[in-house]
Amino acid sequence: MKKVLAPLFSLIFFFAIYNVVNAATVAIEPSHFEIKGKPGNGINGTFKFSADTGSTYQFSIRQFEADGTQGLIKLLPETPNYPVTKWVQFFPPITKATSAEDQTIGFRINVPETIEEQDFYFAILASPISPEADPKKSSATIQPSVASNIILSLFDKKKIEGDIKISLTGEKIQQIDNLNLSLTVQNNLNKFQTIEGSIVLTSIVDNKNQKIIPIIPQNILAGAVRQMTTTLEKNIPPAIYISDINPGIYKVSSTVSGDNGIKYTSQEFTIYIVPSLGYVAYPLITTLLLLTAVILSIKVFKKSKKPIDN
């Protein structure tokens, strides 16, 4: 299950929204990195880059943060004092696309020994360089799977502090074909977390009758909040897929865990799942048609048995 869901959570979480200033086609893959290291280390890595043939680009980085509760990220304005800016080197720092094939670009992150253990969030940007464009003012398009969002983790797991708060909500009475549950996770830990878990629906009539609904793993930055729902909202796929639920009364709760392995459980509540109009209409219409057919058949049979007057 984890192998199947991992690509999905990458698409759900790592969406960079940025203004399109230059219409050139540019791509950086993979869509995100999670790099682990320690203060005083030099960390090496590579990524694939492609652009329109003949175009020239310069690489740089930009800090990002969580944008609301939908799993999007927001690139922050350039800040000269952001320390990672001085740590990252690209090889080469400027490149010209000579073919449609991907180029391999190397980078190195030189982490000073004096840095405290923490997470740093930044994105790789490719800015076009041309006689008509000022590289400081022009930027390439940043779209899903185009910018590479990097999480640089310098943590010792023993020093992770804080906890995770979760809340599961939903309407008390819901239709079977339109179940709507919302799970809110607050990452109060001082480190980025990948959240996994499930929602459990337990029948009031039979405690052994349970439906376990897995939650697609979600990335949550330190101090950020994520809201995961069973419905499609603002072009973000649902993180909770519910199917094969029968009408009835259910106790509902959720349990999730982060990288620290500790399980956190939401408060339990009751929901009434009722048949939808479509759920009821089909068997009802079928029954009415059968009854109508039977009544007509009886009438025809009686009429055929009635003696004919001479």
CATH number of the domain bearing residue 65: 2.60.40.10
Q: What's the pLDDT score for residue 142?
A: 36
**pLDDT value at residue 269:** 94
CA atoms within 13 A on the CB side of 269: 14
What percentage of the chain carries pLDDT values higher than 70? 75
Residue with tokens 């969002």: 149
Residue 25's pLDDT is 72
Residue 204's CB: how many other CB atoms inside 10 A?
A: 12
pLDDT tens sequence across 189-219: 988 899 999 999 999 988 888 899 999 888 8
Query: To 10 degrees, the CA torsion angle through 63, 11, 183, 34?
Result: -50
- Do 37 and 135 lie in a common domain? yes
CATH code for position 222: 2.60.40.2550
Assess if residue 150 is contained within a domain.
yes
Q: Taking 70 as the threshold, does the pLDDT of residue 19 lie above it?
A: no
CA distance 144 to 119: 22
* Residue 6, pLDDT above cutoff 70: no
98 and 136 belong to one structural domain: yes
Contact 130, 137 (CB under 8 A): no
Helix (H) / strand (E) element for 294: namely helix 277-305
Whether residue 145 has pLDDT greater than 50: no
247: Cα separation from own chain's centroid: 29
Per-residue pLDDT of 233-271, as tens digits, reads: 666 677 888 877 888 899 999 999 998 889 999 999 999
HSE of 170 in the Cβ direction (CA atoms, 13 Å)? 31
Distance CA 141, CA 21 (A): 7
Using the predicted structure, report yes or no on whether residue 96 has a pLDDT greater than 80: yes
Domain boundary among 131, 156, 181: 156
287 within a domain of the structure (yes/no): no
What pLDDT is attached to residue 264?
Answer: 94
Provide the whole-model pTM. Answer: 0.70
Q: What is the DSSP letter of 285?
A: H
Percent of the chain beyond pLDDT 90? 25
In a domain, 38, yes or no: yes
Residues forming a β-bridge with 121: 151
Residue 283 in 3-state DSSP? helix
Reply yes or no on whether the pLDDT at 179 is more than 80: yes
Whether residues 133 and 211 share a domain: the answer is no
DSSP state of 232: -
8 Å CB contact between 16 and 147: yes
Q: Are residues 59 and 176 in the same domain?
A: no
Residue with tokens 């996994």: 196
pLDDT-derived band at 32 (thresholds 50, 70, 90) equals confident
pLDDT in the model for residue 196: 92
> Is residue 86 domain-shared with residue 143, that is, in the same domain?
yes
Residues 168 and 269 in one domain: yes
Based on the domain organization, do 31 and 131 belong to the same domain?
yes
Question: Do 51 and 146 fall into the same domain?
Answer: yes
The predicted structure's pLDDT at residue 99: 78
Which of the residue ranges 49-53, 197-201, 219-223 would you say has the lowest mean pLDDT? 49-53
Residue type, 192: F
Structural domain includes residue 121: yes
Residues 115 and 231 in one domain: no
Q: How confident is the model at residue 9 (pLDDT cuts 50, 70, 90)?
A: very low
Is the per-residue pLDDT at 21 higher than 50?
A: no
| Nearby residues of 116 by Cβ (< 8 Å), 6 or more positions away | 39
Mean pLDDT of the chain: 78
Residue 205 lies in a domain: yes
H/E element holding 258? none
Overall size of the chain counted in residues: 310
107 and 144 belong to one structural domain: yes
Distance CA 32, CA 15 (A): 10
Domain boundary among 134, 156, 178: 156
Domain assignment present for 219: yes
- Is 58 in a helix, a strand, or coil? strand
pLDDT at 13: 42
Give the mean pLDDT of 210-234.
87
Domain count for the chain, please give it.
2
Q: Which domain holds residue 233?
A: 164-274
Give domain status of residue 169, yes or no. yes
Q: What is the mean pLDDT of residues 161-173?
A: 92
282-306 burial code (b ≥16 CB/10 A, e <16): eeeeeeeeeeeeeeeeeeeeeeeee
For the segment 267-306, what is each residue's pLDDT rounded down to a tens digit?
A: 999 999 888 765 555 565 567 667 776 776 776 666 666 5
Amino acid sitting at position 105: I
52 & 108 share domain: yes
> Is 51 contained in some domain?
yes
The tally of CA atoms less than 13 A away on the side-chain side of residue 142 is 25
* Secondary structure string (H, E, C) spanning 143-180: CCCCCEEEEEECCCHHHCCCCEEEEEEECCEEECCCCC
